Amino acid sequence: MTGSAREFVVEADGGSRGNPGPAGYGAVVRDAATGQTLVEAAEYLGVVTNNVAEYRGLLAGLRAAAELDPDATVHVRMDSKLVVEQMSGRWKIKHPDMKPLAAEAARVFPPGRVTYEWIPRADNKHADRLANEAMDAGARGEQWSPSTSTAELDAATDRAASAGRTAGSRRSGDASGVAPAGAGEAADVAAAGGDALSAGERLPRTTTRTGAGSAVSGGAAAAAGASGGGEAAVSGGGAIAGERVGRAARTGAGGAVPGAAEAPAAADVRAAKVVASPGWGPPDMGSPATFVLLRHGETPLTPQKRFSGSGGSDPSLSPVGREQAERVAESLARRGTIEVIVASPLARTRETAGIVAARLNLAVTVEEGLRETDFGAWEGLTFGEVRDRHPADLDAWLASPDAEPTGGGESFAATATRVAATRDKLVAAYAGRTVLLVSHVTPIKTFLRLALGAPPESLFRMELSAASLSAVAYYADGGASVRLFNETSHLR
């Protein structure tokens, strides 16, 4: 059976110690919906230039993506301005060593199925680590082996340490957290007129292993029971009250825990890789519309477990919620897969979406259908307070999706009708694209419930944390595939 067409992100890099000199490349293929690593590739090349090594990395990444799904669409992210501009057709390719490599890369997928984006070197650490592993192996007279690679774990640990160093600057107004392009980028830009090569274009990176090892790649945390609290009845009342405090303590240093053993983090990375699966289906359905579902960050009502729908006080994010939004923005920026952002009209979702949009340099479209359920007279109350004041109405609401909260709120059946119509509208508008939907507990659970064909009572059996990520892919035949649920690793 053939897997249906998918969307991949390819990150590639190459380096030469001497330019020309001993060189190697690294390439990573990720699932666009989840950011999970699917393939790593690296190779020692002998003596070549930096730019040739970069092109070889690009070619290896595209070939690996084609082996996974020859009908896929691919978004390439590289820190080589030269390669990105030349492959995008904006700069001419004059160097004789690069012309055949560029032509070969252009033939891997049909025109229009590959897009290119320049990223800072700080955002390309995984591929950079692989390239350096390949050069290190070549220096030992060996070839790189995936079985001994620690590039993904090294990059994740480095990102966590970097997040800790930049947390203060983000809070003081510098939300980018992105290091400036290195000296090598000037050589790439200068090469526009004639592929000039600079000996300083790529400096080998020396990696020091600290044993911090707590950074997690992907969604392995979803099964860990973390539940950042939420509107209690809507999220099934099972939230762990102490999780918000515990998470805040863990994230104070940007997610890296000094002295932590490397083995648990490596296990987390391996576990995260199994979150995404390609699904099954005929090969001619094209790329799915992929919705990455982001629940807004915490508000002052969230840790108190109060009903907070579309008919209440419309609270804004708390300081904790804004920090959560910044963390998810950094995570989504590293994945590099989001093309469009659509948000509920409520203040907490628009604020969360705005923080992410600023980091991704995207606009936010407001969609009324993504708003939270209206909880009527229950707005602002805890589950216990509703039980004391409106016991009969609460029992009816828990027993039937058609029951409305006290005072004429919105039933879960009405919410499902609204969400289904919104889903169909957005799938038609964004076929083949990856869209971030910033919404609330009930709509996100409803997206997941409908995708799974689960009964209405399943809404009470799903835990959805503040600032968590879930993902659903929608195919041309009407089928859907849930690819991620309640990922919170970015909040650690």
Annotated catalytic residues are: 296, 372
Token pair 């947390």 is found at: 167
- Structural contact between residues 344 and 350, judged by C-beta atoms closer than 8 angstroms: yes
Residues 171-182, buried b or exposed e (16+ Cβ, 10 A)?
eeeebebbeebb
The three-point CA angle 251-257-259 to 5° equals 170
The token duo for 172 is 């003081």
Q: Which residues contact 121 (CB under 8 A, 6 or more apart)?
A: 79, 128, 179, 181, 182, 184, 185
447 token code pair: 């997206």
Tokens of 434: 């990856």
Q: What's the CA dihedral at 460, 474, 62, 3 to 10 degrees?
A: 90
- Rounded CA-CA distance 14/62 in Å is 14
Q: Rounded to the nearest 10 degrees, what angle do helices 151-171 and 125-139 cross at?
A: 140
**8 A C-beta contact, residue 60 and residue 43:** yes
Q: Closest Cα partner for 339 from 474, 434, 432?
A: 434
